[in-house]
Each structure stands twice: as structure tokens, then as C-alpha cells.
Amino acid sequence: MALVIDLGAIAANWKSLADKAPGARPGAVVKADAYGLGAARVAPALYAAGARDFFVALAGEGRDIRPLLPEDARIFVLSGHMEGEDLTGLIPVLNSPEQFFRDRALRPKGQFGIQLDSGMNRLGFEPGEWAAIRAEALAAGPQLIMSHLACADEPDHPANAQQLAVFRAMTEGVDAPRALSATGGTLLGPDYHFDLVRLGIGMYGGLPYAEARPVVSLALPVIQTREVKPGESVGYGYSWTATRPARIATVAAGYADGLARALARQGQLRLWAGERSCPVVGRISMDLITVDVTDLPFVPEALEILNARQGIDAVADLGGTIGYEILTSLGHRYPRRYL
């Protein structure tokens, strides 16, 4: 009756993705608390598996894991060098001329990366801005020059080749290590690998890494069961009404635990008892979900919402979202157990 996080599966997914880019250093993205799974456990497990290059979004996330990793682990901060931020032991990825010039004299030599905008228009130097500081930046010895693909989860999207060409043009003749790809780009093939890849969602068992080992399972305790008669309704808004004598189980989780109301809207969300699944009926409320368990021979102590049969992407589809959002939304009220 817990959120079970398989650290061995995360490490195995990291390794199998790394094997797809044998010429590149396999970096590990542990931003947003390792996609909600607990960076304090995930980052050391990845270090033990061989990862040395870690990526977080914010300096604060980097400060949290810095003491947990040996000195040879590099922690890159994707948001770069923000005003007043303590970057001790961290490597800001500078995104703009403003970030480049901020505290430039205080920055230890080579203690930075550079992000270039190759088309996504989210973060990074525009070509003209880059041209203006390029010589000075390269002379200071950046640890990484990177960009990010906007459409890598769609292999046939023309933006992939366009961004690749722009990145190549912007980094021609540069002798610093280069990085373009996250999980999706890593799967696009060797042209996209460069010197380092930044592996994220695939490690955590999500698409587009279809071969990933599942990482999370989540079982929700059954609080009580009741019999309802045909014509009786269940939950807020009376949105579901029994058409036969039914047994309803109420489980202890809801939208406050990251299981959004929208997941049940199409009426297709199911909870699992071993090999069998049962439909969620009625609305998901803040702390509770109701399930029609009439067809189970007996009601177990807990029902699973995430398991090897129903992964994060299957659940995400039902709510019109993506596996990333399911993972990063998982709450902290249910106990977490690490394998």
C-alpha cells in the first residue's frame, strides 16, 4: 500500500539508454526532485550506476543533492546564473548575455556551460548574441555547450533536422563538449548524440522510451466497501448510477495526491487487483476514489493504479496529459518505498 519506486529499474533504464549513444557521456536529469520520485535517493543510485553528469532546473535543487554526491559528480543548473544565487559546487548553464556577464569575475574559470537556442525559443543564446560573446566564452573554457530539441518525441518532425543543422552551424569549430539531446533525441540516432546526452523521462520508465523497464507502482488502500442497489448513485454530482446490484470499494487517494479529476472523465480509468481490473466510477475527489469491484471474487486490501500493466503513459492518456506530468504530480501522502 505505497508508492514503490524501483531504483534498480531507473539505473537499468539509464544504462540501456546510455548504450544507445555509446560515443556520448550519459548525463542524468534529476530536476523536479527526479521527476517527483525523490532526487535524494535517485541521484546517488545513478551515481552508483556510473552517472557523473547531473542536471537540475534550479540552483536550489542542485544545492539539495550536492552533499549527497561525491566531488567528481558535476551538477549543471539548466536555468543558469540567476541574481543572488549561491552556485557553490554547481555549474550554471548560461542562457543569455545577461547571465554571462552576471558575476563573471566571481565565477571560477570554466565553471559554466552555455545553452544555445537552436529553434525552440525557450532558453539560450540567439545566434547573434552568441556570435558577440563566443570568443570570450570559449576562451573561458565552458564545460558544455548545449541546446534542446522541441519535437524529439516525433521522429519525423522536420524541426529535428532543422535544429540539428542550426546547432551544428552555431558550434562549428568549437572544441568544448557539445550536447543536444534528451531522451527523445538520443533515440533519433547517432547524428543527435554529440559528446553528452541528457537522459530524463526514459530513465523513469516513460515514453518515448518504449523499451523502458517500469519504475513505479502505486497501490491504494481500500478503506471500505459497500453494496449499492440499482438506481443508487456514487460520489460528487451523482455522476455514476448503478444499473445492477454493485459492490463499491472506496480507496484512499485523490486529486490531492496527484490523481487528477480529469483522469476519470472518460470513464476508462481502472484499478487493478492482481490480473483483474475494475472501473473507477463517480468522480475522483480530493482524498478518495470509488471503484466498482462487483466482478472481483474478493476485495483485496489495496488496488493498484500504476503497475506493469497500466503505466504512467496509459494513465496520462486518459487525462489528456503525458507521463512526465503524472510522475511529477505524484503526492507525498502515501508512503514511499524504494527497491
Ligand X SMILES: *Cc1c(COP(=O)(O)O)cnc(C)c1O
Write out the binding residues for substrate.
Answer: 122, 286
Collapse the DSSP code of 273 into the 3-class scheme (helix H, G, I; strand E, B; otherwise coil) and give the result.
strand
Beta carbon of residue 148, minimum distance to ligand X (angstroms, whole number)? 4
CB of 158 to ligand X, least distance (A): 19
- Given the residues 20, 47, 236, 338, select the one marked as catalytic: 236
> Which among 20, 31, 192, 324 is annotated as catalytic?
31
Q: Which residue is nearest to ligand X (CB)?
A: 200
CB of 183 to ligand X, least distance (A): 3
Residue with Cβ nearer ligand X (255 or 324): 324
Residue closer to ligand X by CB (options 14, 100) is 14
Is 236 catalytic? The answer is yes
Going by their DSSP bridges, the two strands 233-234 and 289-292 should be labelled as unpaired
Beta strands in the chain (DSSP E): 3-5, 25-29, 53-56, 74-77, 91-94, 113-115, 144-146, 178-179, 196-199, 216-228, 233-234, 240-241, 246-251, 270-273, 276-279, 289-292, 302-306, 336-338
Return the beta strands (E) in 286-330 as ranges. 289-292, 302-306
User: Is 192 labeled as catalytic in the residue annotation?
Assistant: no
Can you give the binding site for ligand X, defined by CB under 6 A?
Answer: 29, 31, 78, 148, 182-184, 198-202
Give the whole-angstrom CA distance, residue 79 versus residue 95: 7
Residue whose cell numbers read 537540475 = 56
Query: What single DSSP character describes residue 275?
Result: T
User: Nearer to ligand X by C-beta: 202 or 235?
Assistant: 202
Quickly tell me which residue has 558535476 as its cell. 74
**CB 245, min distance to ligand X, A:** 46
Cα–Cα distance between 254 and 320 in angstroms, integer? 17
Nearer to ligand X, 183 or 217 (CB): 183
Closest by CA position to 210, among listed 66, 73, 92, 314: 314
CB of 210 to ligand X, least distance (A): 14
156 vs 301 by CB, closer to ligand X: 156
Catalytic center residues: 31, 236
